[in-house]
Amino acid sequence: MDFDFSDDQEQLRDAVRKWVDKGYDFDRRRAIVAAGGFDRAAYGELAELGLTGLYVSEEHGGMGMGPTEAMVTMEELGRGIVLEPLTQTLITSATLQTHAPAALQAAWLPRMAAGEAIVVLAHQERGARYQLSRCAAQGSESNGAWSVSGTKSVVAVGDQADAFVVPATVNGQIALFLVERSASGVSTQGYITQDGSRAAEVMLNQAPAQLITLNGLTALEEAVDIGMACVCAEAVGVMDKTLAITVDYMNTRKQFGVNIASFQALRHRVADMKMQLELGRSMSYYASLKLHAPADERRRAMARAKYQLGVSMRFIGQQAVQLHGGIAVTDEYIVSHYFKKLTQLDMSFGDTLHQLGEVSARMQETAGVFA
Amino acid sequence: MDLAFTPEELAFRDEIRTWVKDNLPADISHKVHNAMRLTREDMQRWAKILGKKGWLGWGWPTQFGGPGWNAIQKHLFEEECALAGAPRVVPFGPVMVAPVIMAFGNAEQHKRFLPGIASGEVWWSQGYSEPGAGSDLASLKTRAERVGDKYIVNGQKTWTTLGQYGEWIFCLVRTSTEGKPQTGISFLLIDMKSPGITVRPIKLLDGECEVNEVWFDNVEVPAENLVGEENKGWNYAKHLLAHERTNIADVNRAKRELERLKRIAKAEGVYDDLRFRDEIAKLEVDIVALEMLVLRVLSAEKSGKNSLDIAGLLKIKGSEIQQRYSELMMQAAGPFALPYIFEAMDAGWQGNFPGGVVANAPLAANYFNMRKTTIYGGSNEVQRNIVAQTVLG
């Protein structure tokens, strides 16, 4: 048992942090939001750092790294509330690498690692909420060629991505497909989400598709669990920075002639924020370190982790706004953007109430980090 | 980064598990698993079994006869004991006073006091709190006046846990009123059979006498019982707190009690009530998160890194969890937690407990008793002050 980071992992953290601090300041982010919430050039800079190939094997031009490196990276991107969807790339590259036929891997993974192709998970449907087993989209085969019909909602950079990983039902079972955005029968309706990032509705009308796997629910659960671990790590970065900004503010803002950091009612609130941050960080470690556990154990662990992060994010986001006072409800000041990011992350891959239900349903006689 | 224990750590755990299974008396673990009343004899019997094996001072270094375990081994030992239903070792001797004697006492004191602590023969109590000195411990007033080769002690200590059984007591006493309050405090070891000491048990809200008032009326204490230097006692007490951080979170016991809560909820028919069950699920996440926090601190200790900024959180979260599981257990039993039959908490009681489930007898008492956890050991509000200091400066 060991929670120290290796030298290589610390170097990775430094490299990402340096890029965020120097290459992705608040003004640039604001400009990207104004321009639609996604910047291909910024995404290309993530690729230059090698991050888009983090999970891609060296054989396919990636770095072949593991969950701890992904966690370190997502924490740092979270600190800068980076809009470009690296989580999606980590999900889809891992999914293709684990489940797709060799030809499909060879066609996409090198381009994904290089940042030339963006592939995102398009799994959410209006009727499913967070239930992965509910899928109205249909896949069908005709003369050896697959096609998919259905509508997927709130798909990250859905009108910018090059392809989608899409769950669709085949003979009552969920299968996973790859659908190119440029394919016939694909239309999108793009928009900005609450945190300033881009998403789209994706409509598929007998869109040509390539089969990734017929064992789609298992693959989808793995995909979403990778996403949950990413979101947990990203949340830690966002919360860490949110608390730091709040602490700085409290040590400079004066009321009644003194720094507001001197008031005990506020100090105790900060102690509670620190508690939520560290419980959250602990459970983010837990999530990433359980990603390769057997499916039952992994799913239970993810639900526990995402529940804790949901509680932590809501508390830290709301209290950061409260401790700042009026300035925090302006668009101009940075903390409101961190608050919105935390709010959006809670509703990604299953919110707090959903995860509580999952934990509750999966409880066993014994419980702990190792059970 | 690795969540798994090493093969050596797992082998160590198995060795402990086997030993505890073979040596923990079944009548004692039965009481612990069902929260029945433990007698002085129960507690001391287990202490002496550990002492004979050399594990009562499980945190001690080898030079003082301890096993010399690292932070993770200590944790694994505590976990195996807790999960098996061992009583919590009364910490005042082996966990609290012994490390201070080792670090600041002289060779004569080592020889005189440590063997009796290691074997479990001598029952120690703690004399810190006073009627006027709770969270503000440094304001303590119990006086120790140096007269020749003796100290004359006058004053009153309170909340002395299990002090009615105590044979020796380690006290923080005031030896100077000059300078800051912290600088005039000394660390004194006092034989509780000394003339002038009066112990009065305090009946608590659960009906038990777990704590005591201890009066000192011109009690003569040989000067050789002073640990370290006069007026440096506050530093010694702080040293102790710095070395006792993960133990206070008591996450291992929480894991055992979570299992018990689920058993009670099933027996009372509320485990399938989603409204109730979700509350258990929240507690389960809390306990896993606390365990991860503890493991992070242990990992940092093993690799010699500073973890002070998170260690301060352990007491707050651990105590809140203890209160929560005791509250949920009581709520699970509902009206059948209400009958107050004092004897029903004793093992072997043969009466008919209302509702027919005698395991419900201690639930309300435990809930009431657990309110102490956010008060003692530095109230959680004081803990928040400390955490805020590390974050805000």
Helices (H), chain A: 7-23, 26-34, 40-48, 67-79, 86-99, 102-113, 216-250, 264-289, 295-324, 334-346, 352-361
Rounded Cα distance, A129 and A122, in Å: 13
pLDDT for the residue numbered B378:
87
* ipTM score: 0.97
Rounded Cα distance, A113 and A93, in Å: 8
pLDDT for the residue numbered B206:
95
User: Which of A116, A199, A205 has the alpha carbon at shortest distance from A160?
Assistant: A199
CB–CB of A360/A367 below 8 Å? no
Quick: pLDDT tens for B195-236. Answer: 999 999 999 999 999 999 999 999 999 999 999 999 999 999
Rounded Cα distance, B188 and B225, in Å: 6
**Inter-chain contact B310–A68, Cβ cutoff 8 Å?**
no
Percent of chain B with pLDDT over 90: 91
Of B287, B302, B383, the CB nearest to A367: B287
Q: Which residues pair with B191 in a beta bridge?
A: B168
Quick: pLDDT tens for B51-109. Answer: 999 999 999 999 999 999 998 999 999 999 999 999 999 999 999 999 999 999 999 99
Of B9, B289, B390, the CB nearest to A282: B289
pLDDT for the residue numbered B248:
79
Q: Is the pLDDT of residue B372 over 80?
A: yes
Mean pLDDT score across all residues of chain B: 95
pLDDT for the residue numbered B347:
94
Rounded Cα distance, A229 and A182, in Å: 30
A→B contacts (Cβ < 8 Å), by residue, are 1-6, 9, 68, 243, 247, 250-251, 261, 264, 267-268, 270-275, 278-279, 282-283, 285-286, 288-290, 304, 307-308, 356-357, 359-360, 363, 365-369
- A142 CB neighbour count, 10 Å cutoff: 8
Rounded Cα distance, A205 and A186, in Å: 6
Task: Estimate to the nearest angstrom the gap between the alpha carbon of A188 and the chain centroid.
Answer: 21
DSSP of B250-304: -HHHHHHHHHHHHHHHHHTT-TT-HHHHHHHHHHHHHHHHHHHHHHHHHHHHHTT
pLDDT for the residue numbered B63:
96
Q: Is the pLDDT of residue B240 over 80?
A: no
pLDDT for the residue numbered B310:
83
Rounded Cα distance, A280 and A239, in Å: 9
Q: Is the pLDDT of residue B307 over 80?
A: no
CB neighbours of A47 closer than 8 A, spacing ≥ 6? A53, A113, A114, A115, A116
pLDDT for the residue numbered B243:
62
Q: Which parts of chain A register pLDDT below 50?
A: none
CB neighbours of B81 closer than 8 A, spacing ≥ 6? B16, B20, B24, B89, B252
CB neighbours of A187 closer than 8 A, spacing ≥ 6? A202, A203, A205
Q: Is the pLDDT of residue B246 over 90?
A: no
Q: Considering only CB atoms, which chain B residues are within 8 Å of A367?
A: 255, 258-259, 284, 287-288
Alpha-carbon gap: B87 to the closest alpha carbon of chain A (Å): 20
**Is residue B265 less than 8 Å (CB to CB) from chain A?**
no
Residues in chain B, how many? 393
Q: Tell me whether strands A138-142 and A145-156 are parallel, antiparallel or unpaired.
A: antiparallel
Report residue B173 as tokens: 């006493």
**Inter-chain contact A308–B289, Cβ cutoff 8 Å?**
yes
Alpha-carbon gap: B118 to the closest alpha carbon of chain A (Å): 29
Rounded Cα distance, A147 and A139, in Å: 6
Q: Which residues pair with B206 in a beta bridge?
A: none
CB neighbours of A289 closer than 8 A, spacing ≥ 6? A67, A68, B1, B2, B3
Report residue B20 as tokens: 């505890």
pLDDT for the residue numbered A250:
98
Helix then strand then coil, in percent of chain B rounded to 5, is 55, 15, 30
CB–CB of B167/B133 below 8 Å? no
**Inter-chain contact A278–B262, Cβ cutoff 8 Å?**
no
Q: Considering only CB atoms, which chain A residues are within 8 Å of B280?
A: 360, 363
Side chain identity at residue A109, one-letter code: L
